[in-house]
Amino acid sequence: MTSKPLTLIVFIMCFVLPVMAEQPVYLDLNKPIEDRVEDALSRMTLEEKVAMIHAQSKFSSPGVPRLGIPENWATDGPHGIRQEVAWDEWYGAGWTNDSCMAFPALTCLAATWNPEMSALYGKSIGEEARYRNKNILLGPGVNIYRTPLNGRNFEYMGEDPFLASKMVVPYIREVQKNGVAACVKHFALNNQEKYRDHVNVVVDDRALNEIYLPAFKAAVQEGGAWAIMGAYNKYKGEHCCHNKYLLNDILKRDWGFDGVVISDWGGTHDTNEAIYNGLDMEFGTWTDGLKEGLSDAYSQYYLATPYLDKLKSGEVGMSELDDKVRRILRLVFRTNMSKDRHFGSFVSDEHALACRQIAEEGIVLLKNDNHILPIDGGKVKKLLVVGENGVHSMTIGGGSSSLKVKYEVSPLQGIINRAKQSGIEVMFEMGYASPAVAAQDMKGAVAPEKKFDLDELRDKAVKAAAGADMVLFIGGLNKNAGQDCEGNDREGLGLPYGQDKLISELAAANPNVAVVILSGNAVGMPWIDDVSAIIEAWYNGSEAGNALASVLFGDVSPSGKLPFTFPKRLDDVPAHKLGEYPGDGSDVVYKESIFVGYRWVDKEGIEPLFPFGHGLSYTTFEYGKLVADKDEMSVSDEITFKISVKNVGDRVGKEVVQLYISDKKSSLPRPVKELKGFQKITLMPGEEKQVTFTVGKNELSFYDDNKEAWIAEPGVFEALVGSSSAEIKGRVVFSVK
């Protein structure tokens, strides 16, 4: 019988010493990542490589257990960490510890016009993803706002590529400091939900480069994004999840992207295209007639057994596979095998404060006649709140951004809590009602729908309005299908569920009506002249009610600015005016080219409902004279502009100072003006600050599609500084040699 000491020696010699001697480089956290990648790659079998490039469940892909390489786990964002779902299903897994913090929608973040808020957002949601041990956050989204009917606009950052570029970079950087990859989406040209899975976008190269790509480029080259998600739609006849021009030529070759291209769920359509056209990880595909979510579907993915068979037969080579695996290994070593990865935090007091700060800074005061806001407890004793959105949950519905939250403060609750401090009695009437939507609970069950008499609801609200000192109508959209919701576009610009009629009747019954719109899109306002105040309050997550109350009662002066234009009618939007939305089901042609949003408004001389960059305050800002440090510069030089801004009101406030550049004469048509700088400043009453902008070649350039290059031409330019695209406070003409 072998003695125990001898058995131990044999075990050490046979098993422990060989492992110690091998010392894999990929496990040495002090080695350069590229060395670790090559070491791990050299140890993997063909089957292990192929397994790594496609999903094994709804939101995960395999690691290599034999080598100690962990799985990759993705989570829907970009507004909160999605609840755990069943392995092969979309519905919730029934956990009790996965209720998250809901952060404001990205339209609200863009409306802050404050990169510091973007950094706070990224830090906070990155910590939540890390705590839940996710290493891929499926967000942020930076697709351009082309039509107010796009059901997914609330997930994006507005109509201007410069604003979106500046706001996305801090978000990405801070998320990734947590060892979580930001997966920027949807690359590219995903500007409508109707026909999204097959429509081919026809757009000229100039618009592609000037309007639709800059935010993605900034995400990669400035933000250092570790992942990109392809779009559902087609471009140049190829699906964007395996699109040679977008992924291989632009993203990986021209921009130097070294991260992972991830398919949108169900966005992969062909094995050969997926092999050769830039896709690295395939998720959510349904193949061979299998129903969504069957566990054996994963082996039938385009980059699974069909790819493995081609490799074994010699039909395809190894270089494309190895490139995909290198990128995934690089992602793993940057995230869940990084020595710098901390533990994160979840639904913390700090995250609640972040939610509230971002929401407060993003809320936009659109109109405030007779200074009806903030609510004055000395004048208002009975406050009537009307509207289903005052109590409707805005964290469920909307598609993949639907959340299971720890808590959600409704607008009504926030208002009641704050009104008590001012001795104001708050009454509530529904006024209107909408159908129930599915929550992310077990099997997507929908709460039993209550039956409402809409005429009765409206009549009760109007009758109550006559006896109130002030009426707060809280309405808008609500993430139902056909409102702000993935997979559907809106049917029109007007408010649903009879709200327009209700608002008009409330205004007829009471002269003091303030309207609060919750939405991620512009809405029509046929009643705009009948109400005293209008606020755009977005979808603001867990702290929505508290943030709204802070602004309504003047604890915080509103400082948000619109990240997109509010048109008076759909015919004022070029995608609709030119008859090219939503396309014919096969193609959609972007006939407006670069003239999107305020660029079109300026070109056509249209008066919008509210202009891009618009937002009022409870205080007043006075602009000084705009001056330049020179009146002439060379193309390779820079010019500096300065302007002073003073708070001449009696409240502390924040102002967004916006710089636009106008090219007075160029070889190709250019917009009347384009946003090329902005700064958000805080001013105490009576305080004055100087704002400085520096402009160089990048800010003066346009994309010449004939030369396939960015061009800065000599000529005469004008710098315009204002509080919105329509409210210009100062101008300076300068020339470029």
The answer, yes or no, to whether residue 21 has pLDDT greater than 60, is no
Residue 729: predicted pLDDT: 98
| Long-range residue pairs from 665-670, CB within 8 A, at least 24 positions apart, any chain | 665/715, 665/716, 666/702, 666/713, 666/715, 667/704, 667/711, 667/713, 668/206, 668/702, 668/704, 670/594, 670/702
Closest by Cα among 262, 251, 78 to 156: 78
The answer, yes or no, to whether residue 296 has pLDDT greater than 80, is no
Token couple for 166:
């500046």
pLDDT interval class at 291 (50, 70, 90): low
The answer, yes or no, to whether residue 19 has pLDDT greater than 90, is no
Residue 239: predicted pLDDT: 98
CA 487 to chain centre: 16
Write the Ramachandran bin of 113: left for phi over 0, alpha for psi from -120 to 50, otherwise beta: left
Cβ neighbours of residue 300 under 8 Å, at least 6 residues apart? 287, 288, 290, 306
Residue 283: predicted pLDDT: 96
Strand boundaries in 554-687, DSSP class E? 587-589, 621-623, 627-628, 632-633, 639-647, 653-663, 674-683
Residue 574: predicted pLDDT: 98
Residue 27: predicted pLDDT: 93
Q: What is the mean pLDDT of the chain?
A: 94
The answer, yes or no, to whether residue 347 has pLDDT greater than 50, is yes
Q: Is the dihedral of CA 697, 701, 705, 706 positive or negative?
A: negative
Residue 9: predicted pLDDT: 66
Token couple for 10:
């044999």
Q: How far apart are CA 488 and CA 493, in angstroms?
A: 14
Cβ neighbours of residue 247 under 8 Å, at least 6 residues apart? 187, 230, 261, 277, 278, 279
Q: How far apart are CA 510 and CA 470, in angstroms?
A: 7
Beta carbons of 634 and 736 less than 8 angstroms apart: yes
The residue-averaged pLDDT of 82-100 equals 91
Residue 1: predicted pLDDT: 45
Question: What is the DSSP track for 480-543?
Answer: STTSSBTTB--S-SSPSTTHHHHHHHHHHH-S-EEEEEE-SS----TTTTT-SEEEE----GGG
Residue 90: predicted pLDDT: 84
Token couple for 236:
């140049």
Strand boundaries in 62-150, DSSP class E? 72-76, 136-138
Coil, helix or strand at residue 184: strand
Residues involved in catalysis = 264
CA 106 to chain centre: 4
Token couple for 398:
């909307």
Which residues make beta-bridge pairs with 234? 200, 239
Closest by Cα among 386, 364, 422, 388 to 497: 388
Q: Strand order in 470-476's β-sheet?
A: 364-368, 533-536, 513-518, 470-476, 382-386, 425-429
pTM of the model: 0.95
Pinpoint the residues of the chain covered by CATH 3.40.50.1700. Answer: 349-564
Q: How far apart are CA 720 and CA 353, in angstroms?
A: 36
Residue 89: predicted pLDDT: 83
Cβ atoms within 10 Å of 204's Cβ, excluding its own: 15
Q: What CATH fold (topology level) applies to the domain 619-736?
A: Immunoglobulin-like (2.60.40)
Token couple for 650:
């009696």
Tokens 């533990």 — which residue? 343
Which residues make beta-bridge pairs with 446? 438
pLDDT interval class at 77 (50, 70, 90): confident
Closest by Cα among 648, 638, 646, 633 to 677: 638
Coil, helix or strand at residue 126: helix
**pLDDT tens, residue by residue, 137-187:** 999 999 999 999 999 999 999 999 999 999 999 999 999 999 999 999 999
Token couple for 580:
């090219």
- AA letter at 287: T
**pLDDT tens, residue by residue, 34-63:** 999 999 999 999 999 999 999 999 999 999
Token couple for 133:
């041990």
Most confident of 84-93, 477-486, 595-604: 595-604
Pinpoint the residues of the chain covered by CATH 2.60.40.10. Answer: 619-736
Residue 288: predicted pLDDT: 60
**DSSP summary character for residue 246:** I
The answer, yes or no, to whether residue 414 has pLDDT greater than 80, is yes
pLDDT interval class at 5 (50, 70, 90): low
CATH of domain 349-564: 3.40.50.1700
The answer, yes or no, to whether residue 407 has pLDDT greater than 90, is yes
- AA letter at 99: S
**pLDDT tens, residue by residue, 365-376:** 999 999 999 999
Residue 437: predicted pLDDT: 66
Closest by Cα among 558, 534, 515 to 385: 515
pLDDT interval class at 449 (50, 70, 90): low
**DSSP summary character for residue 16:** I
Q: How far apart are CA 467 and CA 470, in angstroms?
A: 9
Q: How far apart are CA 508 and CA 461, in angstroms?
A: 12
Residue 231: predicted pLDDT: 98
Q: How far apart are CA 668 and CA 210, in angstroms?
A: 13
* Among the ranges given (9-18, 57-66, 79-88, 243-252), the one the predictor scored with the smallest mean pLDDT: 9-18
The answer, yes or no, to whether residue 442 has pLDDT greater than 60, is no
Beta carbons of 247 and 253 less than 8 angstroms apart: no
The residue-averaged pLDDT of 285-298 equals 70
Which residues make beta-bridge pairs with 703? 710
Residue 735: predicted pLDDT: 97
The answer, yes or no, to whether residue 134 has pLDDT greater than 90, is yes
